[in-house]
Amino acid sequence: MQSSLGYNEDMIVELGHFALILAFAVALAQSIIPLVGAHKGWRDWMVVANPMATVQFLLVGFSYAALTYAFLVSDFSVKLVVDNSHTLKPLIYKISGVWGNHEGSLLLWVLILALFGASAAWFGGNLPATLQARVLAVQSAITAAFMAFTIFTSNPFTRLAFPPFDGTDLNPLLQDPGLAFHPPFLYLGYVGLSMAFSFAIAALIEGRVDAAWGRWVRPWTLAAWVFLTIGIATGSWWAYYELGWGGFWFWDPVENASLMPWLFAAALLHSAIVVEKRETLKSWTILLAILGFGFSLMGTFIVRSGLLTSVHAFAMDPERGVFILMILAAFMGGALTLFAFRAPVLEAKGVFATVSRESALVINNVLLAVSSFVIFIGTMWPLIAEMLFDRVLSVGPPFFNTAFTPFMVALAMVLPIGAMMPWKRGNLGRVMQPLWGIAAFSVAMGAVTWALQTGSSPLVPVGLALGLWVVLGSAVDLWTRTGRGNIGHRAKRLTRLPRADWGKATAHIGLGMSIFAVAALVGWESEDIRVVQIGESFEKGGYTLTLTSVDRVQGPNYVSTMGTLEAHRDGRLITVLQPEKRFYPIAGMPTTEAAIDYKIHRDLYITLGDPQDNGGWAVRTYIKPFANWLWFGCFLMALGGIFSLTDRRFRVAAGAARKGPNAVPAE
């Protein structure tokens, strides 16, 4: 269609396609020129990486905007729009539909890669010129690889010769705010780890890792970890309310693929502190940075190839799987080879006693890395067993719960002690002095809980004791930091503590709350399944629930069967719950919408089942104790990361960048 302005609106998709190809060319150049420049010491060749990173980001940004435009105007000549959209779909899901599919989500990956690269150009002015050039080159090489993958195997801009009248709609499961915004956060996390990787490779090429390197790499890792935390938590929350029985973690390969990099990022952001403060653990930190991104790539590989869903799904589309495997092999193989050659150059400086913060963080890293390995081997084992031993078997939640939990218990047990241990040389007796009281209190509370609860499962008592120990230990740590003096002075000093201290305490408290919530949710959940007639009442967990009606409701792009239940307690109406069964006719798919009454100490969770022969309805009711504490704990972990991220030492570094000579254009 020719518009009055004289340009062709239909061309926007082609322009987006063209911008992506152009960005690919820029990325290729950017992954070579600055490396040569840094090697030869040619300043011009190094600094050109900065504008290139910006241009690359703008081009990919335009390309992404063009694809979004195609979704917004429902341009059904684009194959991707036909497969994943529909004119009736709500606006928000037209936007989220862009990444709710393989091709579009890859373009988002590339966009975030370019964004992180450009950020390193914008905020990295205080980096040594050669290091910055190398970081930008490595980052661009990763971006280029994913651009090639997008353009050659998964092009989102493919046109159809005969556009259909309407699209086939987005998978209705994805038409949900929780799931719509969960992938971008995960991608920000996965891709954020690419920055740590780029810094690691650049440092290996330079042959130098010092305290400053630790300080530069930490914010990126912290940001990636915060994004992963949010992404995993929203995904888990979505599963909780959408899948209909309130499960929040299934040990599915796709979930495991996000938990592994999360654990690695957690290990990395702790070991980077040791590099920053004490200049030791250098080669280990570099290795963590490489492996962390490696697991991100593997996560992508697992999700994209369908390898673990079924070996046959992989064979159905080997082109994409092989391409990602090649990217994985090239970057991991190259990085680990480089590591093997250069790691011995990285000499440790700090000397510390066996009882010290350094040692405590080594234990933290061992536990996090090994627990990540548990998930890795459990996820890959069905594949290994089939290929090597010709056994078709499953590895499910019972394995992961048994094999993973001990490491988390150990982590929680050592956390408060390690967090208060002084650097360089510590005294266990002195560190434990303020902690004995809360240790005794936590164990006592666990014991009381065990005595009072029905049933003999130690799950909740142990979870409660550990959670209390971590939460109170973190509070004691923060309070101890205010030094000596009267309470008023110390309280005043509390507000002036560095934000990193607040971040540490907040994140650890969040972890403690999550540990307790998981234990309570798994150990104390109760369930009720029954057939209910309309007008009939039943008792559950102290509530009287009455099914008042079941109605047919028309939604924007679905029809719903909606039950209405009133919950009374002691004759008082507490809440009205409306669980739904939806059917999306265009996609031909049913979904369940549970009705949940959220309270601080429990969730009342109801789903509506099928109509029964006698006119009643199947109704499932759950009491989920302390469910909200899990999401709140995850939120606190992310918030703690954000506090740390805004610590003065990082802000000062960013400020120096703005004043630094590199940030101001020379001409």
Partner 1 sequence: MNWLRACLIGLAVSLASPALAVQPDEILDDPALESRARDISAGLRCLVCRNESIDESNAELARDMRLLVRERLVEGDSDAEVLAFIVERYGEYVLLRPTTEGANMLLWIAAPVLFLIALLSAGLYLRQRANAPEPAKDGLSPEEEARLRELLKE
- In the window 293-332, what residues touch partner 1 (CB under 8 A)? 306, 309, 313, 316-317
| Residue 402 within binding range of partner 1, rule CB under 8 A | yes
Residue 242 vs 566, nearer CB to partner 1: 242
Reported as type and span, the H/E element at residue 231 is helix 211-242
Comparing C-alpha atoms, which of 132, 219, 221 is closest to residue 649?
219
DSSP assignment letter at 2: B
> Residue with structure tokens 């940075």?
289
Comparing C-alpha atoms, which of 285, 278, 304 is closest to residue 204?
285
Residue 56 vs 283, nearer CB to partner 1: 283
| Residue 407 within binding range of partner 1, rule CB under 8 A | yes
Q: Which of 17, 89, 94, 102 binds partner 1 (CB under 8 A)?
A: 102
| Residue 104 within binding range of partner 1, rule CB under 8 A | no
Q: Residue 317 Cβ, how far from partner 1 at the closest point, in Å?
A: 5
Comparing C-alpha atoms, which of 380, 400, 390, 399 is closest to residue 308?
380
Q: How many CB atoms lie within 10 A of CB 388?
A: 8
Residue 136 vs 272, nearer CB to partner 1: 272
Question: Which residues share a beta bridge with 155?
Answer: none
Find out whether 586 and 86 touch, Cβ atoms under 8 Å: yes
| Residue 353 within binding range of partner 1, rule CB under 8 A | yes
Gap between the Cα atoms of 250 and 205, Å rounded: 41
> Residue with structure tokens 């002075």?
489
| Stretch near partner 1 under the rule CB under 8 A, chosen from 225-233, 393-401, 459-467, 647-655 | 393-401
Gap between the Cα atoms of 303 and 309, Å rounded: 9
Gap between the Cα atoms of 538 and 584, Å rounded: 31
Contacts of 165 (CB under 8 A, 6+ apart): 76
Residue type, 12: I
| Residue 597 within binding range of partner 1, rule CB under 8 A | no
Residue 39 vs 530, nearer CB to partner 1: 530
Residue 77 vs 168, nearer CB to partner 1: 168
| Residue 5 within binding range of partner 1, rule CB under 8 A | no
Find out whether 213 and 635 touch, Cβ atoms under 8 Å: no
Find out whether 258 and 231 touch, Cβ atoms under 8 Å: yes
| Stretch near partner 1 under the rule CB under 8 A, chosen from 61-69, 257-265, 322-330, 348-356 | 348-356
Residue ranges in 154-210 assigned as alpha helix (H): 177-180, 182-206
| Residue 350 within binding range of partner 1, rule CB under 8 A | yes
User: What string marks each residue from 164 to 203 as x (binds partner 1 by CB under 8 A) or -?
Assistant: -------xxx------------------------------
| Residue 279 within binding range of partner 1, rule CB under 8 A | yes
Q: Which of 352, 469, 524, 643 binds partner 1 (CB under 8 A)?
A: 352
Residue 38 vs 362, nearer CB to partner 1: 362
The half-sphere exposure of 64 on its side-chain side, counting CA atoms within 13 A, is 25
Pairing of strands 543-554, 617-625: unpaired
Q: Which of 257, 620, 627, 653 binds partner 1 (CB under 8 A)?
A: 620
Task: State phi, psi for 572 to the nearest 5 degrees.
Answer: -105, 135
Q: Which of 49, 135, 395, 562 binds partner 1 (CB under 8 A)?
A: 395
Angle in degrees, 0-180, between the axes of helices 397-420 and 459-480, rounded to the nearest 10: 20
Q: Residue 571 Cβ, how far from partner 1 at the closest point, in Å?
A: 28
| Residue 44 within binding range of partner 1, rule CB under 8 A | no
Residue 118 vs 286, nearer CB to partner 1: 286
Comparing C-alpha atoms, which of 268, 326, 416, 397 is closest to residue 145?
326
Residue 219 vs 306, nearer CB to partner 1: 306
Find out whether 120 and 29 touch, Cβ atoms under 8 Å: no
Q: How many CB atoms lie within 10 A of CB 79?
A: 16
Q: Residue 583 Cβ, how far from partner 1 at the closest point, in Å?
A: 10
Q: Residue 284 Cβ, how far from partner 1 at the closest point, in Å?
A: 9
Q: Which of 73, 322, 393, 553 binds partner 1 (CB under 8 A)?
A: 393
User: What string marks each residue from 224 to 263 as x (binds partner 1 by CB under 8 A) or -?
Assistant: ------------------xxxx-x--xxxx----------
End-to-end CA distance of the chain: 44
- Restricted to residues 573-592, the positions that interact with partner 1 (CB under 8 A) are 581, 589-592
Q: Residue 362 Cβ, how far from partner 1 at the closest point, in Å?
A: 5
Residue 141 vs 288, nearer CB to partner 1: 288
| Residue 559 within binding range of partner 1, rule CB under 8 A | no
Q: Residue 299 Cβ, how far from partner 1 at the closest point, in Å?
A: 15
Q: Residue 347 Cβ, how far from partner 1 at the closest point, in Å?
A: 6
Residue 247 vs 437, nearer CB to partner 1: 247
Three-state secondary structure string covering 20-88 = HHHHHHHHHHHHHHHHHHHHHCCHHHHHCHHHHHHHHHHHHHHHHHHHHHHHHCCCCCEHHHHHHCCCC
Question: Which residues share a beta bridge with 539?
Answer: 544
Q: Residue 86 Cβ, how far from partner 1 at the closest point, in Å?
A: 15
| Residue 570 within binding range of partner 1, rule CB under 8 A | no
Q: Residue 549 Cβ, how far from partner 1 at the closest point, in Å?
A: 19
| Residue 370 within binding range of partner 1, rule CB under 8 A | yes
Reported as type and span, the H/E element at residue 573 is strand 572-577
Residue 325 vs 654, nearer CB to partner 1: 325
Residue 382 vs 461, nearer CB to partner 1: 382
Find out whether 600 and 517 touch, Cβ atoms under 8 Å: no
- Restricted to residues 519-558, the positions that interact with partner 1 (CB under 8 A) are 529-531
Residues present in the chain in total: 667
Residue 220 vs 284, nearer CB to partner 1: 284
Q: Residue 141 Cβ, how far from partner 1 at the closest point, in Å?
A: 26
Comparing C-alpha atoms, which of 62, 71, 170, 153 is closest to residue 106?
153
Gap between the Cα atoms of 201 and 207, Å rounded: 10
Residue 10 vs 83, nearer CB to partner 1: 83
| Residue 403 within binding range of partner 1, rule CB under 8 A | yes
Q: What is the CA radius of gyration of the chain?
A: 27
| Stretch near partner 1 under the rule CB under 8 A, chosen from 113-121, 122-130, 397-405, 643-651 | 397-405
